[in-house]
Structure 1
Amino acid sequence: MKFRLTFPVKSIEPKISYGQKVMVMGSCFAEEMGNRMIQDKMDVLLNPHGILYTPAALVHAMNTYLEGKIYGSSNLVERNGLWHSWDHHGRFSDVNPATVLSRINEHQNLAINYIKEADWLILTLGSSFIYSLKENYKPVANCHKFPAAQFDKRLLTLEEVITSLDNMMHRLFFQNAKVQILFTVSPVRYVKDGVVENNLSKAILIQAVHHLVNKFNRLHYFPSYELVIDDLRDYRFFKEDLVHPNDLALQYVWESFLEHTWDASSRELQQQLEAVRTAIQHKPLQPGSEDFKKFLSSYLSKVKALKEKYPGLDLERELAYFGTADK
């Protein structure tokens, strides 16, 4: 008897590998996956604009990198003593406008240079709903808790999503001839828009992405949305808000992501690094015992071997931790 529907996940070609540069942008789900890649020592630039939910916000952010845009004071707005950028997530906001601009432009310069050399761009689309300022029709990436009366909300059309992504990618390919793009659709369910409305929003994103993937041979799709919504398909795989996938669901998607988008040697290295990370988290009952010193010494040898085999990996923290065995 079957209690859940599984489906074959198509592996991408070429695959992601260590030594490549990967830019990850998009929703809070992109943060989850991107942080796991960073944790596993992949060369990743994650959300230089902060969390972005809509294709419009992602396209705009990418265009600023391709144009080499540097932000100035005219790009900031103030409310209740806090300064914000309409283009950025609230993590950049601050009481000091100079601090906001410093944070923004630090990440902006990183992204401007990184995108020219990136091997992969991973885009996680969250919602087709956008908010625009009523005063000048400017779409915003984040409303920053300004009064709702200042914004118009509408659903992007399929044509708008396809056209904006298509135009941005042509500009990107002109500057970076090698970059591959991997699309995912976030399984986070934005029920604040309404259940029916959320499904319509996701449907537009999915149709747009598949239209583009079928158009370009360097575009790929990973079914994170389908793995959670159609495969797991149970509220026990969601957090208490019944909106965000929980740790169990994220781990399930992550394991599938590794299997179908990373090459074999990179998966092997990832497993070794995961074992090292687990060892660091081990809490000994007797830190000064000979057994624990042997444990440290054993892993120190393993980390040194990894460093010798992969000199580009940053393993200084691990070497320092296990190196206490020599002291």
Structure 2
Amino acid sequence: MEFRTVVPCEKLQQQISHRDEILLLGSCFAENIGRLLVSHKFNVGINPTGILYNPYSIADVLDLLVNNVRFTVDDLFHSGNLWHSFLHHSRFSHTDAELCVRQINRELISGAERLVRASWLLITFGTAYVYTLHENGRVVANCHKLPASLFDRRRIMSEEFFFRWEPLIDRLFKMNPALRIMFTVSPIRHLKDGAHDNQLSKSELLLFIDKLCRCYSERCVYFPSYEIVLDELRDYRFYDAGMTHPTSQAIEYIWERFSESCFSEETRILNLEWERLEKALNHRPLTPDTETYRNFAMQNLFKLKKIREKYSYFDISKEIESLELFLKTL
């Protein structure tokens, strides 16, 4: 007997490998998957302007990257002893305006360069609600704890999102003919919107993505992370204490499903080899000066070099260099 609904995940026709360059944009769920890709040694860039939630703000950031925009102090505002940008997460905020701009532009340059080279753009939408400034109607990515009276809040319909994104995707594909885009909807529940409004918001995102994927079927795909958590895991034990964010166990399960759907057999085997070896590399005995530990470290170095020999595109040069230096101290 089957006591759960297994959400089908179609295998990608062009699967993701360690040879690919990847850029991730979107909610903190994108950062969770991004960190797993990084830990498995994929060539990844994550949110060059910080965490983003709504499709309008993500489109604004992509416009910045496509147009190679650079910020100046005039693009910032001052509040609470800090300089902020309405298009950036608070991790970019700084007491020094020049340092704030320098950090912003460094990430924009890196993100723009990666977007031109990327094989995959992975985008996670969190909500269809946006906040706009009263004074000019501009959608902001972050309110930076300013008074609510400065903003209007509204839910964007799927048709309006599509109108904003269709010309942007055309420009992306023209700029980078090899680019493919994967969309996901974050399983994080925005309960501050209200339970019903959260469902309406997610529905608009799903309708919007579905239309994009039908219009660009050869180069846009959808991965059902939202459905996996809500329909397959379907239990509060897979949410954290706040009942909004998936637990680490849930994210690991989504990673397993993602791996099955998106990675080739060679990539999955390499991931498993690396997981075992990374665990060994992180092992530290109580007495590292023993001959036994030296032999253990030598075996790890041998395994690292074998992996590099077998998978020349798998960049573990730092690990090899670090272990060689460590062995010289024993």
TM-score, normalised on structure 2? 0.95
Identity of aligned residues (%): 36
What is the match of residue 13 of structure 2? Answer: 13
Task: Please tell me whether the aligned partners of residues 27 and 125 of structure 2 are also in contact (alpha carbons under 8 angstroms).
Answer: yes
Residue deviations 1:222-255 (CA, integer Å, cap 9, x gap): 1111111110011101111110000100000011
What is the match of residue 314 of structure 1? Answer: 315
The one-letter amino acid of 1:218's match is: R
What is the match of residue 258 of structure 2? Answer: 257
Distance across 1 between alignment mates of 2:313 and 2:96: 37
The one-letter amino acid of 2:142's match is: N
What is the match of residue 299 of structure 2? Answer: 298
Distance across 2 between alignment mates of 1:280 and 1:3: 40
Distance across 2 between alignment mates of 1:199 and 1:277: 40
What is the match of residue 243 of structure 1? Answer: 244
The one-letter amino acid of 2:209's match is: V
How many residues were matched structurally?
Answer: 327
Determine if the alignment matches structure 1 residue 219 to structure 2 residue 240.
no
Q: Tell me how far 1:320 sits from its aligned partner.
A: 4.1
What is the match of residue 78 of structure 2? Answer: 78
Alignment of 1:83-122 (within 5 A): 83-122=83-122
What is the match of residue 68 of structure 2? Answer: 68
The one-letter amino acid of 1:264's match is: E
The one-letter amino acid of 2:36's match is: R
TM-score, normalised on structure 1? 0.96
Contiguous gaps of at least 5 residues in structure 1: none
Distance across 2 between alignment mates of 1:276 and 1:178: 33
Which is further off, 283-292 or 116-125?
A: 283-292
The one-letter amino acid of 1:110's match is: S
Residue deviations 1:183-231 (CA, integer Å, cap 9, x gap): 1110000101101000000011011111111221111111111111110
Name the SS for the 1:214 alignment partner: helix
Q: Tell me how far 1:279 sits from its aligned partner.
A: 1.1
Alignment RMSD:
1.4
Distance across 2 between alignment mates of 1:202 and 1:267: 31
Distance across 2 between alignment mates of 1:105 and 1:58: 17
The one-letter amino acid of 1:154's match is: R
The one-letter amino acid of 1:177's match is: P
Which is further off, 217-226 or 315-324?
A: 315-324
Contiguous gaps of at least 5 residues in structure 2: none
Task: Please tell me whether the aligned partners of residues 26 and 123 of structure 1 are also in contact (alpha carbons under 8 angstroms).
Answer: yes
Distance across 2 between alignment mates of 1:111 and 1:295: 40
Q: Tell me how far 1:12 sits from its aligned partner.
A: 1.4
Distance across 2 between alignment mates of 1:41 and 1:82: 35
Distance across 2 between alignment mates of 1:279 and 1:262: 24
Determine if the alignment matches structure 1 residue 177 to structure 2 residue 161.
no
What is the match of residue 36 of structure 1? Answer: 36
Distance across 1 between alignment mates of 2:290 and 2:83: 53
What is the match of residue 268 of structure 1? Answer: 269
Distance across 2 between alignment mates of 1:243 and 1:290: 49
Q: Tell me how far 1:291 sits from its aligned partner.
A: 2.9
Task: Please tell me whether the aligned partners of residues 7 and 227 of structure 2 are also in contact (alpha carbons under 8 angstroms).
Answer: no
